[in-house]
Amino acid sequence: MCKKIIRSEDMGNKRIKNQILRALKKRKMSFWELINYQDSHIVEFMQNLQELIDDGRLSE
């Protein structure tokens, strides 16, 4: 049962990261524009955004 929860969380994080990357692929956005575009909780959004930056997929 724990594996399902972890997988579900991983899928949610992947969805959020994909949402961020899709938005930025369309056009350059400010931080505030990007927040308006996303539909997750701000904390999850911020964690995933930071992970994308840390992984080198986005630059500040």
For the chain, give every domain's residue range.
2-54
- pLDDT tops 70 at residue 1: no
pLDDT band for position 38 (cuts 50, 70, 90): confident
Which is higher by pLDDT, 10 or 33? Answer: 33
4, containing H or E segment: helix 2-26
Report CA Rg, the chain.
12
Q: What pTM does this model have?
A: 0.76
The pLDDT value recorded for residue 11 is 78
Interval 28-50 mean pLDDT: 92
The pLDDT value recorded for residue 37 is 83
- Dmax over CA atoms of the chain, in Å, equals 40
Rounded CA-CA distance 38/43 in Å is: 12
Please report where in the chains the tokens 């991983």 appear, as a residue.
10
The pLDDT value recorded for residue 3 is 55
